Structure 1
């Protein structure tokens, strides 16, 4: 990964700008809808330990989990004995994580923070991680710059991101015609699931890049309807899509049908199991 990162002027962020604040407020509210901690706990829990292991987290490390949600990476990292900070834009998710980690007897810091403007010093962390989190920051270059900035030279960066072609990437593609278009400059989250996109974001500021597409086996749902109903109840982006269709029963029914078809297309067996593809990427700060 030798190319120099090129800043995209449409992908920068200014926390003091009213439009940026309004965009982040909408993101914060969306992820507070439903019960994302249930998604993290019941559907994607295996991803956190995978990322912690891939990044080689040890008890000697100071770790930052960016866009941590309720801590599906931060908590496994804390189990190693590492000093962990979990940061997220949505305080409601952090509160769930704080409570669940406390029940387990784990001690870590929980801090509200914007992934595009992290409130940490340069080179403050040995390991910087994000599991299907930072990919949802609207301006990819700004978020990538922050991942690199807060990681010390020689430290590790580890990311898990849904791929565009995989199940969750196709979930967003399915919902796209049913939601309002994003503001100018906002980039699609599943782009983080393309190695070449992350390579362009990080540029020559990292070395020893290792990227691998893997599949998460999901068996949390009895059938396609079980998936659809769970995501309508728990997953913020899906809830927001349906709320926007509340006055249009025809389009609501159409989205219902498309989500059923999506789950059936990705089924790996008759028991409702599915395979969700993701990109696991690790790198060392140059």
Structure 2
């Protein structure tokens, strides 16, 4: 199996996505969505940004490599009677089913950054976006002090080194890399803009309970705990993550979690 597909089908990212709904909806409101806009949400998960986009009247196609997340997205869209939103399995490195210039807007919030072959990802996103359209990406930033970058940094310290040729998804959080990748896709750097933005994880229990959700359902953290257990270091990993989540929790209540995470917002105007 494709290792990227295996990673995201391993757990159940819908459990993590529950903590991301409010920020997903708020982010979409800044996209300038209008009725009838053709939108591709790439690496869409179960629809954290795809469903809010459809609620605003756009025609949305969500594409994700994980079959379980595609099924969950279609179920959510059906429950809301959103006939203008559908999900299908696909690979961000090869969108061969979609013709050139098919979409007005291509969105990928913490999705396509995890696909291998980043130059292919940029090329495909640019190819399927119409001239005059936009690409909007949300990418975690390497070594950022906030939540997700630190989860991935801590987890990587417990897992075996990646295979030769592996390109870290976090490299999508570096502006020069983004510019270079889109340049190879024929996009001049003056068409690309960057901003720092915030995504907040809200969870109705204590931070330690959210750590458990990541431990049980988030592929990269699951892999880290499996490796840590083999080395009798699972308790160390648990403590590091609980310390992280507790220190970054902004909720005034001890039985609730609200943790902001900084990301790089990329806008490409084609």
So what's the TM-score if we normalise by structure 2?
Answer: 0.88
Alignment match, 2:237: 255
Q: Which residue of 2 aligns with 1:163?
A: 141
CA displacement at 1:85 relative to structure 2? 1.0
The counterpart of 2:16, out of the listed 17, 34, 39, is 39
Structure 1 partner of 2:175: 195
Closer/same/farther in 2, CA of residues 28 and 154 from structure 1, 3 Å limit? same
Tell me the CA shift for residue 115 of structure 1: 0.4
Q: Distance in 1 between matches of 2:206 and 2:116?
A: 32
Confirm whether residue 280 of structure 1 aligns to residue 262 of structure 2. Answer: no
**Gaps spanning 5+ residues in structure 1: where?**
1-21
The answer (yes or no) to whether the contact 2:208–2:246 under 8 Å persists in 1 is: no
Q: The residue matched to 1:274 in structure 2 has which SS?
A: strand
Number of equivalent positions: 260
Whether the 8 Å contact between 2:64 and 2:91 is mirrored in structure 1 is: yes
Aligned to 2:21, the other structure's residue is in SS state coil
Query: Contact 2:77–2:86 at 8 Å: present in 1 too?
Result: no
Distance 1:35 1:244 in 2: 19
Instruction: Output the CA distance in 2 between the equivalents of 1:68 and 1:99.
Output: 14
CA RMSD of aligned residues (A): 2.0
Q: 1:152 to 1:51 in 2, by over 3 A?
A: farther
- Secondary structure of the equivalent of 1:210? strand
Aligned to 2:62: 86
Distance in 2 of aligned mates of 1:222 and 1:54: 29
Structure 1 window deviating more from structure 2 (217-226 vs 140-149): it is 217-226
Q: Partner of 1:218: helix, strand, or coil?
A: strand
| Structure 1 residue 267 displacement after superposition | 2.9
- Unaligned 5+ segments in structure 2 are none
Measured after TM superposition, the shift of residue 49 of structure 1 is 2.8
Give the corresponding residue for 2:72: 96
